[in-house]
A = this chain, B = another copy of it.
Amino acid sequence: MATSRRQWMKENLAVATLAPTFMTPNKVKGYSVDEVEKRLDAQNPIEGVEKQDLPTPALLLDLNRLENNLATMNEYAKSQSVNLRPHAKTHKCAEIAHRQIAMGALGVCTATIYEAEQMDKAGIGGILITSELVGPNKIGRLVRLTKKRPDTMAVVDSAEHATQLSEAAGTAKVDLNVLIDIDPVGRRTGVAPGETAVELAKTIDRMQNLKFCGVHGYSGASSHVVGFDARKKHSIQYMTPVIESFRKMQRDGLPAEIMSGTSTGTYNIDPALGMTELQVGSYVFMDIDYRIIGGNGENTELYEDFQQSLTVLATVISQNYSDRATLDSGLKAFATDRDFGPEVVGYRGVKYRFGGDEHGILTLDEPDPAVNLGDKVELVVPHCDPNVNLYDRMYCTRGNKVVDVWKVIGRGHG
């Protein structure tokens, strides 16, 4: 998960060249979170609500950039004749899922049964839950969701787990669709590729009330390999045995139709290997973590296939020293699981560091523009999935205007 100091410097320089979006407070009103939502619910687009009217910290989603990202991925998938079932664990947002499906996606992936339940409530089907659902609680809920939406799919990585699923499905008189989870490299979940996987697939295929549909193989270790060529080599090395196992299942007469996997980091690598569908997630938002892995285009230093659409809006709440200013956005406002923090957008000579649960410290080195008490500052998030998980809503913007509020559903729960 680490990035080198050199990459980090490079990224900071790159961000400094983005168009400035700094703001100073103007004739704003004291809206509470509830009031802003009420106002946004009442009329869309909203007259007069701008970024600087929002309570901070606030999660902002740039809709132009989001739409651009959705279109780019969609066109790529079409050009490769591969299906999309994008991962909703990144956005946990029904409005984004609906847009993905309207553009042709088969449905969405979710990481948890709770995310799946929330997506179902929002009218979204075609759900593949990509983590093993183990134990009566989660299996019982999977059974109920499948009764309502028969195209729901789950993953399984052992005969013991498959037996649990089969028994619960039999009791409930429903057929559960399952993919065998093959572990490319992470030793996190999944069975080893090769004969072990093929044998387990056969075992599953023989079980009552389980409908074997194919393979889930996600090489998380490949997704953040820095440098396109190194990443390609890594993904080919580890995904090839998985896809070979999938082909062997087909040759052996198993009804293996789906080969699902692939991250935003390998979306333009894996389709050629034989994926039938991609579960890319982060491309909708991007983050610092992905930006520094490098791209395959003209700029190989930074990954720029997709645009950074997600930021946190913060307020300068203390400015008693010339060399620093304090923001109202700290450890509770940003994902902290990487060894780098968020990045300030639109300033030169301004860096962010964490200053505690509620505070961030801006270090000022001839800042341009100047930083003053009350100023609003936007910051690119370090790692998008856990950052979204900290918020209940995203404020959707076009330029400085706030045009909508989308709920983050399915966060945090099992």
Seen from chain A, the residues whose Cβ lies within 8 Å of a Cβ on chain B are 25, 27-33, 53-58, 89, 111-114, 117, 131-141, 143-144, 157-158, 160-161, 164, 183, 186-192, 220, 315-321, 324, 326, 328, 331-332, 335-337, 354-359, 361, 373-374, 385-386, 389-392, 411-414
Contacts and interface: CB of A to CB of B under 8 A. Distances in A.
B392 A134 contact: no
A97 to B, nearest CB: 18
A138 to B, nearest CB: 7
Nearest to A192: B320
B132 A317 contact: yes
Contact of A392 (B141, B361, B413): B413
Contact of A326 (B137, B189, B373): B189
A318 B158 contact: yes
What does DSSP make chain A's interface, helix, strand, loop or mixed?
loop
3 closest Cβ pairs, A-B complex: A30-B140, A55-B414, A189-B318
Given A135-B25, A188-B359, A373-B160, A337 B328 contact: no
Given A186-B355, A332-B412, 15 more contacts: A30-B137, A32-B141, A55-B113, A56-B414, A57-B413, A132-B328, A134-B317, A135-B374, A157-B320, A158-B320, A183-B320, A188-B318, A188-B356, A332-B389, A392-B412
A45 to B, nearest CB: 20
Interface-central residue, A132, A139, A324, by most chain B CB under 10 Å: A132
A33 B355 CA distance: 34
A161 B373 contact: yes
Interface-central residue, A54, A144, A318, A326, by most chain B CB under 10 Å: A318
A386 B332 contact: yes
B190 A137 contact: no
